[in-house]
Structure 1
Amino acid sequence: MKPTSCFLLITIPLEVKRGLWETEIMDSIPSLLLRAQASATEKMSSCFSVKNSGKLSSCPAVVTGCACGYTCGSWDIWGKTTCHGQCSPVDWTTACCCHLT
């Protein structure tokens, strides 16, 4: 047998096996995504926003995002519960808050 024939005899079964493995993975992806989505929605019970004048807006929950006035796009989160608008001046700051359970 020529070396090329031996190479083909080895790679053909590997290609078939790889195809089956990829099919199993692709078939399991939708169910994994559904489980992850269900888990995420169970952990996030309620979200709301708190708007205050000035550079700071505090939440009674975890801050998940911020927005601030005068077209300021620069903000940071202090201590998991407070939004801080980093521009000067800032007329308002909104904190997006979520109770995580």
Structure 2
Amino acid sequence: MIAPVGGSASHMMKAAVFLLFALLVPAYHTGDQCIDNSIDAKVQAAISNIVITNLAKAKLLCQDVSASGDLVSCPAGYKPTGCACGMGCGSWDIRSDSICHCQCGGMDWTAARCCRVGLE
């Protein structure tokens, strides 16, 4: 017995679509994506090793500076972490991100603790 033409074509189309999905889906999930994931993992591992190595070498480098008057500047690349004032003055502020300023009048000296992060 011969099947109707429409039914056979419909079955052939369904089979072709099924075969297409059967071939493409595994290729997509195991092909480029797998390679991309492998490359991503290796890059992340390399970056992590570099960061860990450099963090282990990081060190806080500090120095004290002082000057007469009510202002003292930290050297280039250093930031003040604290200030001290002469004549028993305890009021100070940090100006322009690198200058210690004692707020009392007639200041005889000002000192700063200046620090930066460096590598050994």
Alignment partner for residue 82 of structure 1, among 99, 103, 106? 99
Which of these two proteins has the greater Rg computed from alpha carbons?
2
Aligned residue number for residue 63 of structure 2: 48
TM-score by length of 2: 0.47
Over 6 Å off, 4+ runs: none
Percent same amino acid at aligned positions?
Answer: 51
Q: 8 Å contact 1:62–1:98 — kept in the other structure?
A: yes
Post-superposition Cα deviations, 1:44-89, rounded to whole Å, max 9, x if no partner, equal 2x10110100000000111100001000000000011100000012
TM-score by length of 1: 0.56
After the TM superposition, which residues 11-30 of structure 1 pair with which residues of structure 2 at under 5 Å, given as runs?
none
CA RMSD of superposed structures (Å): 1.9
Unpaired runs of at least 5, structure 2: 1-54
Task: Tell me by how many angstroms 1:100 deviates.
Answer: 2.2
Partner Cα separation in structure 1 for residue 95 and residue 107 of structure 2: 17
Give the paired residue count.
Answer: 62
Instruction: Specify the code of the residue in structure 2 equivalent to 1:48.
Output: Q
Q: 8 Å contact 1:62–1:100 — kept in the other structure?
A: no
